[in-house]
Amino acid sequence: MTKLDLLKDWYQRVWVEGDLRAIDAYFAPRAGADGLMPDGQVSMEDFRALVPALLALIRDLAIDIDRSVEAGDWLWARITVRAVTAHGVDPVRASGQVMVRVEDGKITEAYNAFDFITFFEQAGLLPRDAFMLLLSGEKLG
């Protein structure tokens, strides 16, 4: 299996299908993912809470890998997430990037940059144009 196939399978099984048991098949035992939570690295155990929490906000999830580059043990991918809100039909579309290091068929390091502001705006949990409001010094909440 190529690194790109591994990443596609990770998104399909864990995120789209919500198969939390599959997490161990993709991540090395002490691996973690940076860039998803503000307070540090997300472990395999953290994914077991993070995935259902995010999936509760949306339905009909699809994740596309728009571009990818492999270099040695590393894979970089630009992704687009498409879904609809959990309690309506409003579209949710956001993009991000991930860089993973793969050893022995498992992810050993992951670095993420995802447009969570757009995601949460479209999911109805942040006001429209939240980024512009924050740039103006407005406090949310």
CA distances from 72 to 24, 65, 79 (A): 23, 19, 20
- Would you write out the chain's pLDDT as a tens digit for each of its 141 residues? 899 999 999 999 999 999 999 999 999 988 999 988 887 788 889 999 999 999 999 999 999 999 999 999 999 999 999 999 998 889 999 999 999 999 999 999 999 999 999 999 999 999 999 999 999 999 987
pTM tops 0.75, yes or no: yes
Please tell me the predicted confidence (pLDDT) of residue 38: 80
pLDDT given for residue 40 in this prediction: 76
pLDDT for the residue numbered 100:
98
- Matching residue, tokens 């919500």: 18
How high is the pLDDT of residue 102? Answer: 97
3-state helix, strand, coil in the chain (%, to 5): 35, 40, 25
User: How far does Cα 27 stand from its chain's mean position?
Assistant: 14
Question: So what's the pLDDT on residue 88?
Answer: 86
